[in-house]
Amino acid sequence: MAQTETRKRGKARPTSNQALTKEELLAGYRDMLLIRRFEEKAGQLYGMGLIGGFCHLYIGQEAVVVGIQMALDEGDEIITSYRDHGHMLACGMEARGVMAELTGREGGYSRGKGGSMHMFSREKNFFGGHGIVGAQVSLGAGLAFSNWYRRNDRVAVTYFGDGASNQGQVYESFNLAALMKLPCIFVIENNKYGMGTSVERATASHDLSQNGAPWGIKGMKVDGMDLEAVHAAAEVAVAACRAGEGPYLLEVETYRYRGHSMSDPAKYRTRDEVQKMRTEHDAIESVRHKLEALGVDEQGFKAIDDEVKAIVTDAAEFAQTSPEPDPSQLWTDILLEG
Amino acid sequence: MGVQILMPALSPTMTEGKLSRWLKKAGDEVKAGDVIAEIETDKATMEVEAVDEGVIAAILVPEGTEGVAVNTPIAELAGDNAAAAAPAPAAAPAAAPATVASLPPSLVPTPVIAEKEWGETKPITVREALRDAMAAEMRRDPDVFLLGEEVAQYQGAYKISQGLLDEFGERRIIDTPITEHGFTGMAVGAAMNGLRPIVEFMTFNFAMQAIDQIINSAAKTLYMSGGQMGCPIVFRGPNGAASRVAAQHSQCYASWYAHCPGLKVVAPWSSADAKGLLRAAIRDPNPIIFLENEILYGQTFDCPTNEDFILPIGKAKIERAGSDVTIVAFSIMVGVALKAAEALAAQGISAEVINLRTIRPLDIDTIVASVKKTNRIVTVEEGWPTAGIGAEINMQVIEHCFDWLDAPPVRVAGLDVPLPYAANLEKLCLPQPDWVVDAVKKIV
């Protein structure tokens, strides 16, 4: 049962920078809400001891992946770090399979062998889910390389955080992508903190969107709490990449409401700071207000709420009833035949 | 009906904690995301956020309570939505609905390659054999390409890729900047997306810059993806000591990579090894570490001329039959072992020499069959002895055929020092035929 469908309307839009239609806003609202409710449920299951290890929640950053996904077409590749649940849901992977991976069950996307940080879907062109900070940036350049090699018009979206933006291989990848004009959209999700270290304390660069400038990579700073702004920026970047202009860098300023991982008390920032973002800049609330102005009533929102809640409840149920992987799975998937 | 709020686990290891403070009281309304309490774990004080909406009906565990076990009900929530979102008790795993992660059909299995007689041979250098192997596979499969430093216009730092740019063009023979970490990651990403890269490291010493991508990305992703994301890629280049290039440029990485599940590690000696094994490596759907040797590049060996010539990965070769002792070696040390065997023959000792060809998976069957015949084993490697390939082979021999041994296994290895520059010192560090002869004579 397909519970989340891929939203693709990149090519349907005649021009960039225009506001989203009511239908698009509704779809975006629904996708963002699904991510938030999914993550809240994941946090709850973690608290119950059903999810182990590291678990990095995406709450607060939903507009980033949803806005960018709306500008992509089927076949475009996506790769990200370990804060990956939102990306998977945004690209149409099933909530059940993601949640069951979090609980380490057979029904998970990696059959319970990857966990929160390591999930993949060939079908949806989602290439993970990577646990080493910055490693996915070179891999993402490689996804773009394969498009360049095959002379197709796909683009590869490579997400990483402000923390990863200090890794050396990021700049090696910028250089390679710019040299070869690879169709790669580098997206820095700047949520202000690399674990507990603020971006000001970690990065001498004051404008991450210009970090590709020495290689001639065009960069744009985007308000990541505004779905329409993210979408509009992504359309520009996608168009440039598809036109063969080479890589594009988006610095999307966003905010995570929860700690770095479940075990992070987040004492490096004040409760007021978090509260201010939640009450004044929440991306989901902001889209909701726009939809209210466009005439969506309580009943309309409730229908979306109910749909999302049903998906998340079903996913949580599946994640708890799917069996643990059989011990024989220990010895599979190490090498392919040959 | 109400729903219970349970004491949450807030770290991978937490089993209990102190409920230090309630920020809500009975009768308060809570919304999802509201901070309702603070909990002290052994590491930190954490905030607990509400997941469900509703009105707090009762506080079940007062603030200040220590040692509250994870999953103990700490409060009760009343509310119309609460029931729907109630946390279900952790059910024992039961029979599940169909799994969602289906396997891709795209990963084409490679037919098992059999070792056989290939007929006519002609002498070629190891260098030519490697180039011919790459060219043959690139003609066969348009997804195969070569990238690395100086592989294209310069024709290869060691001239392995000579002529390939002319034949295949710059989209398939790609010069990279000197950024091993970046271009290795890029190649691994391309392999995950279905291409078949050959990554040339100017030497394997420089691959240390990229070892995270080799181990964490290339070798582990198939497993971590439950079999979805294979990585058909060859990492190749000269390994081990060259000549007078000192410690940073003279190291054998066989045991480093052989340690890791998810990789195959191949180490050719002759031209036939180089050609047959490299062709197999390029066709293999897994990440392959292909350890060459700079000193061997210019050496000439007979190599089958048959256009289909290919060798199986995972199969050792008996280079010289013998009955008194088994000598196991790989790469350039096969030549050292053969010279030793010759010297030993002059002294009436018959040595069997096994050329490993592949280090992981290890062809322990061939080694064990030989040891059961000779009852003695000496391993020879250029790398350091500690946790080396000899240590592994000899341990496996003990596991498999201890009762057949008439003497303790012996390893010959490079000296346990960074390789020095001075000619005399360098020579003292690397196994010579007489080291092998001496080792054999101690146990025969």
Q: What is the spatial distance between Cα B328 and Cα B356, in angstroms, rounded to a whole number?
A: 7
Q: pLDDT tens across A80-89, in order? A: 999 999 999 9
pTM, full prediction? 0.89
Q: Which two tokens stand for residue B367?
A: 């080694």
Closest residue of A to B196, CA-based? Answer: A146
Helices and strands per DSSP (H, E), number in chain A: 11, 8
Burial code (b: 16+ CB inside 10 Å, e: under 16) for B18-33 equals: bbebbebeeeeebebb
CA–CA gap between residue B47 and residue A91 (Å, rounded): 31
Q: How many CB atoms lie within 10 A of CB B15?
A: 13
pLDDT band at B126 (very low <50, low <70, confident <90, very high): very high
Q: Is the alpha carbon torsion for B294, B299, B302, B308 positive or negative?
A: positive
Q: What is the pLDDT of residue B112?
A: 58
Q: How far is Cα A92 from Cα A110, in angstroms, rounded to an integer?
A: 16
Q: How many residues does chain A have?
A: 338
Looking at beta carbons, which residues of chain A come within 8 Å of B230?
A: 336
Rounded to a whole number, what is the distance in Å from the CA of B1 to chain A's nearest CA?
A: 18
Count CB neighbours of B8 within 10 A. Answer: 25
Look at residue B226 in the predicted model and tell me its pLDDT. Answer: 96
Residues in A closer than 8 angstroms to B187, CB to CB, are: 142, 145
Report yes or no: B129 and B272 within 8 Å, Cβ to Cβ. yes
Could you tell me which of A254, A83, A60, A255 has the C-alpha nearest to residue A160? A83
Q: Is the dihedral of CA B213, B216, B217, B220 positive or negative?
A: positive
| Beta bridge pairs of residue A161 | A189
Q: Cβ–Cβ of A107/B182 closer than 8 Å? A: no
Phi, psi of B399 (to 5 degrees): -65, -40
Asked if A338 lies within 8 A of B109 by C-beta distance, the reply is yes
Closest by CA position to A219, among listed A237, A241, A231: A237
A313 close to B84: Cβ distance less than 8 angstroms: yes
**Segment among B42-46, B243-247, B364-368 with least mean pLDDT:** B42-46
DSSP B65: E
* Burial annotation B327-344 (CB, 10 A radius, 16+ → b, else e): bbbbbbbbbbbbbbbebb
In this structure, is the dihedral angle defined by the CA atoms of residues A39, A60, A17 and A293, taken in order, positive or negative?
A: positive
Q: What pLDDT was estimated at residue B1?
A: 55
Query: Which residues share a beta bridge with A221?
Result: A251
This complex has an ipTM of 0.92
Contacts of B216 in chain A (CB under 8 A): 131-132, 135
First-residue to last-residue Cα distance in chain B: 84
Q: Which of B138, B225, B283, B358 to mutate to test the interface with A (most CBs of A within 10 A)?
A: B225
What is the CA B249 to chain-centroid distance, rounded? Answer: 21
In 10 A of CB B61, how many CB atoms? 16
Longest dimension (CA), chain B: 98
- Residue numbers in A near B208 (CB within 8 A): none
pLDDT of A252: 98
The distance between the two most distant Cα atoms of chain A, rounded to a whole number of Å, is 60
DSSP A192-220: SEETTEEHHHH-S-S-GGGTTGGGT-EEE
> What residue ranges in B41-150 does DSSP mark as E strands?
45-49, 54-59, 65-69, 73-78, 121-125, 144-148
Taking contacts as CB-CB distances below 8 angstroms, the residues of chain B near A45 are 87
Q: Do B96 and A323 touch (CB under 8 A)?
A: yes
H-only helix segments in B147-259: 164-168, 180-192, 211-212, 221-224, 254-258
* Nearest C-alpha in A relative to B179: A172
Q: What is the pLDDT along chain A (338 residues), one digit of tens a residue?
A: 333 443 444 444 444 456 899 999 999 999 999 999 999 999 999 999 999 999 999 999 999 999 999 999 999 999 999 999 999 999 999 999 999 999 999 999 999 999 999 999 999 999 999 999 999 999 999 999 999 999 999 999 999 999 999 999 999 999 999 999 999 999 999 999 999 999 999 999 989 999 999 999 999 999 999 999 999 999 999 999 999 999 999 999 999 999 888 888 888 999 899 999 999 999 999 999 999 999 999 999 999 999 999 999 999 999 999 999 999 999 999 999 87
B378-409: pLDDT as tens digits: 999 999 999 999 999 999 999 999 999 999 99
| Contact present, B351 and B329 (Cβ < 8 Å) | no
* Cβ atoms of residues B87 and B45 within 8 Å: no
């949520």: which residue's tokens? A191
Contact A57, A42 (CB under 8 A): yes
* Residue A105 DSSP class: -
Inspect the interface and report whether the beta carbons of A128 and B70 lie closer than 8 Å: no
* Listed residue (A244, A249, A171, A192) closest to A217, CA to CA: A249
Task: Measure A193 CA to nearest chain B CA, in Å.
Answer: 18
- Identify any residues that bridge with B144 across adjacent strands, giving them in sequence order: B196
Please check whether residue B309 is in contact with residue B276, taking contact to mean a CB–CB distance below 8 angstroms. Answer: yes
- In angstroms, the CA A152 to CA A142 distance is 14
Determine whether A272 is exposed, middle or buried from the number of CB atoms within 10 Å of its CB (0-12, 13-18, 19+).
Answer: exposed
Q: What is the pLDDT of residue B92?
A: 41
Measured in angstroms, the CA of B154 and the nearest CA of chain A are apart by: 18
Q: How far is A181 from chain B (nearest CA, A)?
A: 12
Q: A99 in helix, strand or coil? A: helix
Q: Which residue has the tokens 């509009």?
A: A232
A223 by DSSP, 3-state: which?
strand
Phi, psi of B74 (to 5 degrees): -115, -20
Task: Show the tokens assigned to A144.
Answer: 């773009």
**DSSP strand pairing (B325-329 vs B377-380):** parallel
E-strand ranges in B126-263 read 144-148, 173-175, 196-200, 233-238
Closest to B102 in 3D by CA, of A209, A30, A2, A34: A2
Q: Do B213 and A335 touch (CB under 8 A)?
A: no
Look at A45 and B87 and tell me if their CB atoms are within 8 Å: yes
Q: What pLDDT shows up at residue A121? A: 97
E runs forming strands in B97-175: 121-125, 144-148, 173-175
Please indicate whether, in this complex, the C-beta atoms of B228 and A110 are within 8 angstroms of each other.
yes
* Residues of B forming the active site: 180, 249
